[in-house]
Amino acid sequence: MEADHPGHVAGATQVLGARKLWLRLRRNGHDIARCTVERLMRELGIAGVVRGRRKRPVDTEPRQTRPADLVDRHFARLRTNQLWVVDFTYVWTWSGWVYVAFVFDAHSRRILGWRAATSMTTPLVLDCLDMALWARRREGVTAFTGLTHHTDAGSV
């Protein structure tokens, strides 16, 4: 392939990544290892175009203080309704970001409440907790004394 200057493959730099450049070189009869292409691109500061890179949602207002971790990463419990572990996460889908919140009982390992939405809002998380409370009340539980609600941001 023609080279305009060292490290420049005509029409390839700043467009092709190491894999596609390696395939193009092999197709044109150059016997070269892919790791060599990766190393040379890295040394020359050449990187392919990244299409479709998605920005991850970020917490725009991180808190200075968080609740204490009351479980100290010990999740084994002797009875139900002693520890509820909660998570709030997100995943990229073809139609955009989907945010998911869920609550599960650490003893029974049962998901008690969950909710998914296309926007990251407080009601999403609260609806999930309401569903968990509703599920336990439906089973006859009336008091939640001694219950610890734990998230990766602390416990209450």
- CA distances 110 to 3, 29, 68, 133, Å, are 62, 58, 24, 13
Mean pLDDT of 143-153: 78
pLDDT on residue 14: 55
Local structure of residue 60 (DSSP, 8 states): S
CA distances from 2 to 8, 12, 37, 67 (A): 8, 11, 16, 62
Distance linking the first and last C-alpha atoms of the chain: 64
pLDDT, mean of residues 67-83: 72
pLDDT at 6 over 70: no
Can you say whether the dihedral through the CA atoms of 110, 116, 120, 122 is positive or negative?
Answer: negative
- pLDDT value, residue 54: 60
Q: 93, 94, 71: which is closest to 84 by C-alpha?
A: 71
Q: What are phi and psi of 67, to 5 degrees?
A: -60, 155
149/6 Cα distance (integer angstroms): 60
Confidence check: pLDDT of 113 > 90: yes
- pLDDT, tens only, 89-100: 888 888 888 999
% pLDDT > 70, the chain? 72
CB 123 within 8 A of CB 101: no
> What is the C-alpha to C-alpha distance for residues 125 and 13, in angstroms, rounded to an integer?
46
What pLDDT shows up at residue 10?
A: 53
Arithmetic mean of pLDDT over the chain? 78
- pLDDT at residue 138, rounded to an integer: 92
